[in-house]
Structure 1
Amino acid sequence: MRLPLILSALLIVAAPLGAETRVPASQAEITLSFAPVVKQAAPAVVNIYATRVVETRVSPFSGDPFFDRLFRDFGAARPEVQNSLGSGVIVGAGGLVVSNYHVVDAATDITVVLQDRREFAAEVVLADRDNDLAVLRLKEATDLPVLPFRDSDGVEVGELVLAIGNPFGIGQTVSMGIVSALARSSISVGDGRGYFLQTDAAINPGNSGGALVDAQGRLVGINTAILTQSGGSNGVGFAIPSNLVRAVVAQAEAGATRFQRPWAGVNGQAVDGALAESLGLPRPEGVILSDLHPESPLAKAGLQPGDVVVALDGAPVNSPQEMIFRMSARGVGAQVELGYLRKGKERQARITLIAPPDTPARDPRRIGPGSALEGLEVARINPAVIAEWGLPMQAEGVIVTGVQAWAAQAGLSPGDVVLAINGERVATPADVERAARAQTRSWAIDLIRNGQPLRLRFRV
């Protein structure tokens, strides 16, 4: 590792041909070292130790190729303590630490250890599973170092970066690399897909939640995952860009417990070569809109199905994930300039980013005793419900939000969209409540589950 380090530093300080030579201006130039950067940034990177209790079942059929699947829930559940380790970054003098959601998910006890060996208990103040980010607050912590943010939109491929974290729990470690790609949006982390910076700096288990810093010691990303075939660090690493991290931290400072991301109210797909050719575009770029909700801010600004969004505030947009990232980094309430193409012609639209409207009212209802649908919980579908449950943009009617008692035995499941009960169409929770009072032993429920139509039949 010393040779690449020396060569990189030499390239930085070497004078171009014909230029006047000069005396090195700093100790860093003399030693050709990243030590000053590490000395500045490392104190704000912490080690995180999380403990969670999970319920496990021990089956006597475990490992059997046939009975294991049949009796996987056999046996009494017993609690089991699991420990996880990761890293975090202090981003607020008041004790705010940002890390990955998967590091502290369901943790019952969290301990944060600073580089100077101080230890603090911590609690999660904001958790965002979709972005794999969590913000923690250290209890009774003072005199804390803070890592400054850098605008991640200004990061370029080829920049030198350092990954700082706690790999394998051996203690704080620094690895060097470059930003090897931008706009990676096809990588799955947790339950969702995000938008990442790619780096070849070594990232190992325990580095999750740690800092990716530039040559000036500024935070450009939160290390999150590594893509490797061997299971080792000889792969490519991915970091959540600092602009999104800063937006999440800002909401935590404002008292939010969940990250509120702006709602576009659209469906779309990246424009590839074949699609660009069919649209008559000179090159593949942007996101073509296929569906817009009537309440979408894009629809209200005049955009239509078939329009191609190519930029947001001048920054390129080349995938739905990138569009969501750029909107999330701006935040609810921000006004942004959208660049889009319609029939090959460039257009502009100014929109205000909004949260998904929670109208019409959800009107949640629960079916009580005396009905074959006892325990069924439903709500009316609106844009907020569509966003929470990942429903199709034009979904309407009634969604199942919970099932207990007879409703669970009937085969209903949270997330089902109810269309009709015993042949009677339902459009509101009140319709479901009325249909549930029917005096009959034979029941038929028409619904949509995971995008597929389904009919449940049962007798009571």
Structure 2
Amino acid sequence: MIRAVLIALTLVLGSQATAETRVPQSQAEISLGFAPLVKQAAPAVVNIYAKIVTQARARTPFSNDPFFDDFFRNFANPRPRVQNSLGSGVILSADGIVVSNYHVVGMATEIRVVTTDRREYGAQVVLADQASDLAILRLEGAEDLPYLNLRDSDEVEVGELALAIGNPFGVGQTVSSGIISGLARTGTGTGEGFGYYIQTDAPINPGNSGGALIDVNGDLIGINTRILSRSGGSNGIGFAIPANLVREFLHQARDGAEAFQRPWAGMSGQPLDGDLAASLGMDLPEGMVISELHPESPFAKAGFRVGDVVIAVDGEPVNSPSEMVFRMTIAGLGDTSEVVRLRDGKREVIAVAMYSAPDEPAAEPVQLGEKSRLPGLTVARINPKTITELQLPLSAEGVAVADPGPYGARVGLQRGDVLLAINGDVVMQPADVAEILKESGRWMALDLLRRGQRVSLRARL
């Protein structure tokens, strides 16, 4: 136990850039613990208070009835409701650039940021992405703020000491210690995230979201984002978004991006298990086998095909679709990545271009006007861009619903539905929808594909 403490203190006290690694020299140094490290890093972690306005439906006598509640879902008058969100953030630059979680500030109408010395700032979201659960804020009128440096999160190792800093349960800034418990955790989160995380046993609780996970040098390893818990409290399994992804967000925010852009893979795949690896002649299961490939995919254009195994991207192993998305995302747009491919037992390094999903052929979105049978309905041609935005199957073709609008939602349409026919007339392009609806009578029949299943909707207009 004493030896472990001495090792920990050696790392902490030797973490200063100008100091050498050494054992504690006195009882006073031993009693300091993590105090020097906390004094260095804590001022760069802020509390965030966000106000979110949501539209809540008015209660009806049928609200508790599963059937009638669903039936009246789109007819009850919505009422605005204010929700207050509490979370944390990390300052990344002296001029007031802050990173937090999307689920803390992404939908906020008003954001207030409070530093450890009780200074308060208004803040605006400059870049946010729900899928990655990250948001970049700019503080109004901020200057000369303390900030944390980003560490290369690919260098982080299991077993390293780590500190989590945030504002759990709104009690004020709190520091908890632990180690890095795991890397490249996928499929362990909830919500909209891609599920690629650093795992730590440093206690993380509600309110820690958006806070810092730092190493013994005071550098940012990741942004605390979620826990694995049935009770809602920390039980030693917490997850942080790696700093390398934060760095890409910071770059795009500084470049003025209005929406976060990530390279398009244009493929689907699955991890290799023992049996699948053996069938491919591999001694050990590693990599991800390609099961579907869009013809416009950068991998298809680089010569990949279904059945190939992707082993690594830019020197880092890839064992799942989530890892593939992460590796491509931090590679950034406009460059190429070195991808290791396994085919017929032979490994080869291939350069793959990193570009966003192309809008070709043009999506040509059409929004129906007020005089239409379904005013507000927006449809678009399916192409790689709409496939990505609407999360459609790679094989999807035709015309998709980008926004059902209020009337389309009432008849049962959903975002991402692929329209096949209206009143028996086949839908070939977006403009067809408006033309067909002009001729429809009091009844309307919609045939569509929803998550691969054929669905028929009938409605009286």
- Relative distance call for 1:10 and 1:256 in structure 2 (3 A) is closer
Q: Which residue in 2 is equivalent to 1:17?
A: none
Deviations 1:256-313, CA, capped at 9 Å, x for gaps: 1221011011111111223212322211111111111111111100000000101001
CA distance in 1, matches of 2:137, 2:26: 37
CA distance in 1, matches of 2:11, 2:369: 74
- Relative distance call for 1:40 and 1:72 in structure 2 (3 A) is farther
- Relative distance call for 1:66 and 1:191 in structure 2 (3 A) is closer
- Relative distance call for 1:300 and 1:115 in structure 2 (3 A) is same
CA distance in 2, matches of 1:72, 1:301: 51
Q: Which residue in 2 is equivalent to 1:37?
A: 37
Tell me whether 99-108 or 58-67 shows the greater mean CA deviation. 58-67
Deviations 1:300-359, CA, capped at 9 Å, x for gaps: 000000001010011000110011011111111122100011122211110120011011
Q: Which residue in 2 is equivalent to 1:330?
A: 331
Q: Which residue in 2 is equivalent to 1:19?
A: none
- Relative distance call for 1:425 and 1:213 in structure 2 (3 A) is same
Aligned: 1:380 with 2:381: yes
SS at match of 2:104: helix
CA contact (8 A) 1:443 1:459 kept: yes
Give the letter aligned to residue 42 of structure 1: A
CA distance in 2, matches of 1:146, 1:245: 14
CA distance in 1, matches of 2:433, 2:423: 11
Aligned: 1:175 with 2:201: no
Q: Which residue in 2 is equivalent to 1:105?
A: 106
Aligned: 1:288 with 2:296: no
CA contact (8 A) 2:390 2:415 kept: no
Q: Which residue in 2 is equivalent to 1:225?
A: 226
CA contact (8 A) 2:9 2:24 kept: no
- Relative distance call for 1:307 and 1:27 in structure 2 (3 A) is farther
Q: Which residue in 2 is equivalent to 1:117?
A: 118
CA contact (8 A) 2:293 2:300 kept: yes
Q: Which residue in 2 is equivalent to 1:91?
A: 92
- Relative distance call for 1:419 and 1:170 in structure 2 (3 A) is same
Tell me whether 63-72 or 351-360 shows the greater mean CA deviation. 63-72
Question: RMSD between aligned alpha carbons?
Answer: 2.9
CA contact (8 A) 2:112 2:121 kept: yes
Deviations 1:97-127, CA, capped at 9 Å, x for gaps: 0000111132121111111211111111111
CA contact (8 A) 1:10 1:32 kept: no
Q: Any residues of structure 2 matched to 1:412-431 within 5 Å, and which?
A: 412-431=413-432
Tell me the TM-score normalized by structure 1. Answer: 0.90
Q: Any residues of structure 2 matched to 1:434-445 within 5 Å, and which?
A: 434-438=435-439, 443-445=444-446
Q: Which residue in 2 is equivalent to 1:53?
A: 53
Q: Which residue in 1 is equivalent to 2:197?
A: 196
SS at match of 1:150: coil
Q: Which residue in 2 is equivalent to 1:80?
A: 81
CA distance in 1, matches of 2:61, 2:229: 33
Task: State, as a whole percentage, how many aligned pairs show the same letter.
Answer: 57
CA contact (8 A) 1:225 1:239 kept: yes
Q: Which residue in 1 is equivalent to 2:154?
A: 153
Give the letter aligned to residue 297 of structure 1: P
- Relative distance call for 1:422 and 1:155 in structure 2 (3 A) is same
- Measured after TM superposition, the shift of residue 431 of structure 1 is 3.1
Deviations 1:118-166, CA, capped at 9 Å, x for gaps: 1111111111100110111000011111100100000000000110111
- Relative distance call for 1:447 and 1:52 in structure 2 (3 A) is same
- Measured after TM superposition, the shift of residue 54 of structure 1 is 2.5
CA distance in 2, matches of 1:77, 1:434: 32
